[in-house]
Amino acid sequence: KQHKNQPENFIDLLAKSSQLLKTIKISRINDISYRQGELQLNILLKNVQEIEKLRQQFKASSLSISIKSNIQSNVVNSRIIIKKR
């Protein structure tokens, strides 16, 4: 069994996630990290509807997603954690 922090695990998770993330309108990526099999992103979204769109995209995939968002002045700041199911 491979260790969760192997580089190929990060690259595989990033590749699969990017296919889903590119379907939403991201204003900016503030931070991205990988730890213990989880890809963590802090992003700014154009609107709150993008959160639901993102949830639906991941629901139909082999990845799970956790989203915590803060909405201020029409800007949606989201912390996203992605991992394999």
Note the pLDDT of residue 40.
97
Mean pLDDT (whole number) for 34-63 = 93
Q: Which residue has the tokens 């639901």?
A: 52
Instruction: Cite the beta strand spans of 1-85 per DSSP E.
Output: 26-35, 38-45, 63-72, 75-84
Token representation of residue 21: 């993330």
Between residues 72 and 1, which one has the greater pLDDT?
72
Average pLDDT for residues 52-69, to the nearest whole number?
94
Confidence of residue 8 (pLDDT cuts 50, 70, 90): confident
Helix (H, G, I), strand (E, B) or coil at 11: helix
Is residue 4 scored above 70 in pLDDT? Answer: no
